[in-house]
Chain A
């Protein structure tokens, strides 16, 4: 273990802005991509269901 305490860890030897700025943006973007994909998938499914419902209602 490299650190004496948690505050030591968060301070990153004075480079907190640079290190945490890098990590926050990286993992923020990864999470954002996953959220965006879930929305895209739901939208595609909804479109298919809507299309089929329309087809079903027209054939009745």
Chain B
């Protein structure tokens, strides 16, 4: 796949495809110029799916689910707080995985995927912290405590910011990719710390209501609403990441001939 990574040296799509053994043909999507088109076609579908799941999830969560006996209606923050917190950790792991692939295989698109995920991950981390504060005030009596769960989640936000700032500070994109990858990989240690913090330390934050090993300790209808919003956020993340990686590809490859083909207004001025 590295042999096809330079667009101007690539003979033609057919010739390149026939040289690749069958079964590894999808590897061609590891190059930015082949991924650009499919990414643009896929993004709207994920966006529509996300919107539908979101409407369904909010309908279940805000209209159908009953008022909680202990927390009243303040608990309804759960329908965005928990999905956002899941996404904040999940996106970080996916980002670090792409960064690692980019580091090991030297594939440009993998590193671009990592960079494309970071802002969305940071946003979900902020949402988890923000909604957590707004939920903490009525239930715990405080916006914030420096306990293990909250502090490690705040560190996650700083890891995202650090990753983005480091990449923005390095002019050469490939060097920025490598530096960012190292930071992302070192930061992975924080994710299990966040996840298990409620078990390892005595904390104000409640334990997990949903785990892979046992049935959820919450009413079924609340669980359904939460999962719908979680799926919606997941689809949203895929859509937004595909759109952002397209921006990154255009920004980085703007001097190549193929990049010009993808820009509608540019075809007329080609010489």
Question: B81–A22 contact, CB under 8 A?
Answer: yes
A55 to chain B, nearest CB (A): 7
CA–CA, A56 and B77, complex, Å: 56
For B138, list chain A residues within 8 Å (CB). 15, 18
For A59, list chain B residues within 8 Å (CB). 271
Q: Which of B120, B130, B244 is the one whose CB lies under 8 Å from A25?
A: B130
Interface assignment of B94: CB less than 8 Å from any CB of chain A:
no
Question: B77–A41 contact, CB under 8 A?
Answer: no
Proximity string of chain A (28-55) to chain B, C-beta cutoff 8 Å, 1 when within and 0 when not: 0110011001001100110111011101
Proximity string of chain B (36-63) to chain A, C-beta cutoff 8 Å, 1 when within and 0 when not: 0000000000000000000000000011
CA–CA, A22 and B137, complex, Å: 12
Q: Which of B74, B81, B123 is the one whose CB lies under 8 Å from A29?
A: B123
Q: Which residues of A contact B (CB under 8 A)?
A: 1-3, 9, 12-15, 17-19, 21-23, 25-26, 29-30, 33-34, 37, 40-41, 44-45, 47-49, 51-53, 55-56, 59
Interface assignment of B135: CB less than 8 Å from any CB of chain A:
yes
Question: A30–B236 contact, CB under 8 A?
Answer: yes
Q: B residues 225-249 with Cβ under 8 Å of A?
A: 236, 240, 243-244, 246-247
Question: A48–B254 contact, CB under 8 A?
Answer: yes
Tell which of B14-22, B95-103, B207-215, B259-267 binds the partner.
Answer: B259-267
Q: Which of A14, A37, A48 is the one whose CB lies under 8 Å from B250?
A: A48
A8 to chain B, nearest CB (A): 10
Q: Which of B73, B119, B247, B270 is packed against the most chain A CB atoms within 10 Å?
A: B73
**10 A-B interface contacts by CB (under 8 A):** A2-B63, A2-B65, A2-B66, A15-B138, A18-B135, A18-B138, A44-B250, A48-B259, A51-B255, A55-B271
